[in-house]
Amino acid sequence: MADARQPSFVTALTAVFVGGAISAWISAAFVGLAPSTSVEAWAILTSICGAVAVKIVLRVLKYNVAFAFAAGALMAGRLVSLALVQAMPDLGGHTIPALPTYGLFSSFPSLVLSAWLVQVSAGRARAFVY
């Protein structure tokens, strides 16, 4: 961590995991309402909803992240996960029980990438001067 005003990786990972969970639940609900669509058809909308959750979690923890960076981090993570499943199809078959749109093995790199992007783009809500 280059700047003491940035959140730790664990803090960023927590925010991304909450945002990803919200995104996964909303995506599963949308696919349940419109079964002819896929999870990826709702990727942009659900990433925006997840970005709101990332922003709220970081705001509670006294950090601030731009909304576009939070949404972009979730979209980049989703893209990495999709590319990983395309490259190795065996990884996409197992899902995490509480998160229906996250693969058990393919979601780890996406969460790490998203958390890193949130970490480097977030900062303290207020600067403390000593």
pLDDT tens by residue, 67-106: 889 998 888 888 887 787 777 766 655 566 666 556 555 5
Task: Identify the three-state secondary structure at position 109.
Answer: helix
Give the pLDDT of residue 35: 78
Looking up tokens 């990495």, which residue turns up? 80
Give the pLDDT of residue 57: 92
Give the pLDDT of residue 111: 81
What 8-state DSSP symbol labels residue 92? G
Work out the average pLDDT over 2-8. Answer: 75
Q: What is the mean pLDDT of the chain?
A: 79
Among the ranges 2-6, 92-96, 119-123, which has the highest mean pLDDT value?
Answer: 119-123
Give the pLDDT of residue 1: 47
Q: What is the pLDDT of residues 36-59, one digit of tens each?
A: 877 677 778 888 888 999 999 999
At residue 74's C-alpha, the angle toward residues 68 and 77, to 5°, is: 135
> Length of the chain, please?
130
Q: Dihedral (C-alpha) 100, 57, 50, 18: value to the nearest 10 degrees?
A: -10
Q: Would you say residue 5 has pLDDT above 90?
A: no
Torsion-angle region of 127 (φ positive above 0: left; ψ -120 to 50: alpha; else: beta): beta
Delimit the domains of the chain by residue range.
9-124
pTM higher than the cut 0.95: no
Give the pLDDT of residue 103: 56
